[in-house]
Structures are given as structure tokens and as C-alpha cells.
A and B are shown apart, each in its own frame.
Chain A
Amino acid sequence: AQSVAQPEDQVNVAEGNPLTVKCTYSVSGNPYLFWYVQYPNRGLQFLLKYITGDNLVKGSYGFEAEFNKSQTSFHLKKPSALVSDSALYFCAVRDIRSFGNEKLTFGTGTRLTIIP
């Protein structure tokens, strides 16, 4: 079984400050990890993914995420927050051993609010 947890329902950050949105996962084998963002009344948009290789993954809009196998975490980060980053963020995981079956498991989401 695969699962993902986003421990914070809400994160507030002042504009210009660094931001972190937390994600931890559980899989039997090795994980594929994804971050998506959802703006109001819109579908989910892909931000970045970790498949293998470098633990620091860079994605869209200046976001990056760090894969930490020992802590089973994949936190989303940005050095300087913008008001336009305010949105709902979802972490998702797929077990590498489930090849041929591409089901993703999503976290419950973290609402990020950037305060001007």
C-alpha cells in the first residue's frame, strides 16, 4: 500500500520570505513523488516530480523539492514567496514497484497563503 501525508492544512508566509510545504510518504518499494498546485476553481497543475537521481528537484514557477529517503519526505520549497503562490498544494506518490499500474495516491492538500 502507498500513502502520503501533508501534516499542515494551512501555511501562512509573508511575501518575500522562504516557504516550505511538507509532505511525507509511505511505500513498500521506492517512490515516485509529485507536487501539484490548484488555483481557485481550476484543475490541478503539475509542478515537479522526483523519479531518481539528484535529491533536489527543480520545477515550475521557481519551486523546488528535496527528496529525503531516510525521513521519507518530499518537502516543497521556494526561496522567496509571491502573493501569486497562494493556492492549494497536493503531494502525490506512486510505488515504483507498481509499474504498469499508474495509480497515484494524493495527500489531503495544504492551503498556502502568502501575506502581502
Chain B
Amino acid sequence: NAGVTQTPKFQVLKTGQSMTLQCAQDMNHNSMYWYRQDPGMGLRLIYYSASEGTTDKGEVPNGYNVSRLNKREFSLRLESAAPSQTSVYFCASSEGRTGTDTQYFGPGTRLTVL
């Protein structure tokens, strides 16, 4: 089991460029999440998907879009990158069957927007 995988590991963009961060899990989990981590601010939820075919906004969704491609994959898209989106992005997944499920995290994508 690879768990939660993310690509790419690092990315540098110029302001206005677009990109998609990919996430996949092999644990047959129903729920998937995208977070961003900034110094002194902890993790903040961008979007989540409770199950295949559904997505909902989290705490900081502006400037992002998501796609739950299938049960395994959940992608995050930046349509027009801004320096404020420089951050480390984490994908996570959980079983989504009870309210007590543990979230499992990927290794992260470090994004710099110049």
C-alpha cells in the first residue's frame, strides 16, 4: 500500500500560470481533503470530498477548484496562481464511514508562486 500519494513534490510557478496538483489514495477511502500549510497558521482546509461525486468548500477555497475524478483521485487546480498561494499543500483521505475516522496524509507539494 502506497497510502496517499501526491504529485508533484515541488513546483515553481509565475503569477498567472495555472497548474493541477494530483492526489491519489489506494485505501478505498470515501472521503478526501485538500489542505494548505502556512507558517504560524497550521493546516487550513481548502476543499473536501465526502464521497465520490461530491465536493464542498472548506475554510479557504478562493482561487482553487477541485475535481473528484473517481474514488481514488482528487485533484486541486489553481487557475491563475498568485504569490499568496505560495504554500505547502497536503492531500488527505479517510474512510468516511463514521465521524471518528482518522485522516491519512500525503507527503505534500511545496508550491512557490513568483
Contact = CB atoms under 8 A, between A and B. Distances in A.
Interface residues of B, number: 26
Given A44-B105, A101-B50, A108 B100 contact: no
Contacts of B92: 44
A41 to B, nearest CB: 8
A61 interface: no
Interface stretch (B11-19, B35-43, B79-87): B35-43
Interface in A56-106: 90, 94, 96, 98-104, 106
Contacts of A109: 42
Contacts of B107: 42-43
B90 A44 contact: yes
Contacts, number: 57
Contact of B99 (A32, A36, A42, A43): A32
B94 A45 contact: no
Contact of B48 (A34, A46, A103): A103
B99 A96 contact: yes
Contact of A43 (B48, B102, B106): B106
B58 interface: yes
26 contacts: A32-B99, A34-B102, A34-B103, A36-B105, A41-B108, A42-B107, A43-B4, A43-B106, A44-B43, A44-B105, A46-B103, A49-B102, A51-B100, A90-B43, A94-B99, A96-B99, A102-B50, A102-B94, A102-B96, A102-B99, A103-B58, A104-B45, A106-B42, A108-B41, A108-B42, A109-B42
Interface of B: 4, 31, 35, 40-45, 48, 50, 58, 90, 92, 94, 96, 99-108
